[in-house]
Amino acid sequence: MNDRYLVMTRLQKRNPNTIVFEFLNLMTLRIRVALSQPTAVDKEPFLSA
């Protein structure tokens, strides 16, 4: 929650292009963290791709 607030306030000070870039950066980081954590989802397709 606090993390998201900091990200939003930081994004508001930038131009739209940078906002999109940072949003994509945040999503890829989130996906990477999700893949690195052990889950019930079979991650073989991700690892072989």
Q: What is the phi/psi pair of residue 37, to 5°?
A: -90, 140
pTM of the model: 0.39
Per-residue pLDDT of the chain (49 residues; tens, 9 = 90+): 567 777 767 766 766 777 788 888 888 988 888 888 766 555 555 555 4
Question: For the chain, how many structural domains are there in total?
Answer: 1
Give the range of the structural domain holding residue 14, as residue numbers without chain letter. 2-48
**Residue 49 and residue 31 in contact, taking contact as beta carbons nearer than 8 Å:** no
Q: What is the pLDDT of residue 3?
A: 73
List the structure tokens of 5: 């607030």
Residue 38 CA to residue 9 CA, distance in Å, equals 32
Residue type, 25: N
Q: What is the pLDDT of residue 4?
A: 74
Residue 15 CA to residue 10 CA, distance in Å, equals 11
